[in-house]
Chains A and B, each alone.
Chain A
Amino acid sequence: MAHRAPPLSRRLLLHGLLSVAAMAVLPPLAVPASSPLTRRLSGTDVHLPRVGLGSWITFNVGSDPVLLEECTAVMAAFFTAGGRLIDSSPMYGSSQATIGHGLAALDAMDRVYAADKVWTTSPAEGPAQIEASRREWGVPRFDLLQVHNLLAWERHLETLQAMKASGEVRHLGITTSHGRRHDRMEHIMRHAPLDFVQLTYNIVDREAERRLLPLARERGIGVIANRPFQQKRLIRRLADKPLPPWSGEIGATSWAQFILKFIISHPAVTCAIPATTRVDHVRENLATASDPLPDHGQRRRMAEYVRSL
């Protein structure tokens, strides 16, 4: 596909200057000292780190140059710590453009596993929206495209399947959140060829354990867990409670790590996608994808402890 160079504008010039400035200030993308644990996507040779990066709210910063550079710093820390999967959606305001800004500034196109969504009630608008999203990211193609919240899922999945067949996208999937529409998601998982599902799963939102996670394992479908911290609500709720004295056994030094360890230790979960605006938090999140991870008994103990608080 040929791309025409955009005309030089003040905005473009400023964007370029800021990107150069970011490259000068930010540390180079070094190979991490210890790579995060990964999980292989069934039927492929794709191994993804067990912790990714969400962009809901956190990367929706408009054209604010200060906040754009902060997000770029978060992405730099994410890649330096071995992260790969970044998830966004056309629904997330300017998040896609922020990711595109960061990828360009960090020259990290080859390090990202680009996961985005199609989000429109009109199946006919799907391809144009996907192309607009791709331009915002600045990637040659998406690694994963998902039907956001099952919106017009039948027709969008047809589009994504055609794109996958022609090599325009590597993987496809569907998403839901807040534990909703699991019946429909189960139906699609049983009948459509999917590489990924994205759903809400954390230590208190465990509805997916009943049917969807076992089904994903059975059918070799990757699982991306969204809302790991219930949009900070869970962290706030637990903030003044003590970690259990045995949290060291599972390698958790904070509530964020405790919660993430619970999520990513489920055998069906490919990765969790916490979103953050802070470099120290993204490092802390990636550090969670390391041994030890809790076993089945420890997971049950973790859930019971949180329930008792």
Chain B
Amino acid sequence: MGDWWTYHPEDFLMFSERVYTRLFMLHNQALWPAQLLALALGGLVLFALLHPRPGSSRLVAALLAMAWVFVAWSFLWQRYVPINWGIRYLVPLFVLQALLLIIVGATRRDGLGLPTRWSVSRGLGLVLFTYALVGHPFVAPLVGRGLTGAEIIGLTPDPLAFATLGVAVMASPAGRTWTLAAIPALWCLISGVTLAILDAAGAWLPPLAVVLALLARWWPEARR
């Protein structure tokens, strides 16, 4: 079909903003009090990133991998696919991301290198992770969706993608960790486009996370 270019972006949208935002409310209601556990585990990962010790990188990679599988099943498959059939093609990518985290971060003997010295890439990586953990949940109440619509790390895709980008850009060696950034970056772009078409507040946040990740990765000192 040679006429795709003549469609408007909103012609591809299958659902309304209200339906989309209520997905998060229903998700939170169904999972409560798993949010507390997810935030606690996120805090554990942040502590490991701030004070890396032997075994920290495996812990970080394993917890993130579990989160990618859980979000693929509980949010994408159970909630999002019923209103957006195209998402079913992204579910395998989420599982692949989990496998990559396991392969790159948790099974290799040297695993991921978590930096201990401050640098631009480490700083931006930590900013991304910290925002995903404690900042992003407050976007929903700030834009009038209430705390019940909060997007929590480990339970919903956007903060999980931000957090994984953060880890990927601060870890070393760069030649291996870029593979961990590709799928989160792709998700951020898809999410940003979706929110923009929905005319939802905060549509610029996911693409901004990708820009920060690229900045961190391409910063001169990041040639590790």
Interface residues of A (CB under 8 A from B): 56-58, 60-64, 66-67, 91-94, 178, 180-181, 231, 233, 277
Contacts and interface: CB of A to CB of B under 8 A. Distances in A.
24 contacts: A56-B14, A57-B13, A57-B14, A60-B15, A60-B19, A61-B15, A61-B19, A62-B19, A62-B23, A62-B79, A62-B83, A64-B26, A67-B18, A67-B22, A92-B14, A93-B82, A93-B83, A93-B84, A94-B82, A94-B83, A178-B11, A181-B3, A231-B11, A277-B16
Given A57-B13, A60-B15, A92-B14, A180 B82 contact: no
Nearest to A181: B3
Given A92-B14, A231-B11, A178 B82 contact: no
A55 to B, nearest CB: 11
A94 to B, nearest CB: 5
Q: Is the interface of A mostly helix, strand, loop or mixed?
A: loop
A57 B18 CA distance: 11
Q: Of B16, B26, B83, B84, which is in contact with the most chain A CB atoms at under 10 Å from its CB?
A: B83
Contact of A61 (B7, B83, B84, B85): B83
B22 A64 contact: yes
A57 B198 CA distance: 12
A181 B31 CA distance: 47
Contacts of A63: 82
Contacts of B22: 64, 66-67
Q: Which 9 A-B residue pairs are closest in the complex by CB-CB distance?
A: A62-B82, A93-B83, A62-B83, A94-B82, A60-B15, A93-B14, A60-B83, A61-B19, A60-B14
B15 A180 contact: no
B110 interface: no
A58 B15 CA distance: 7
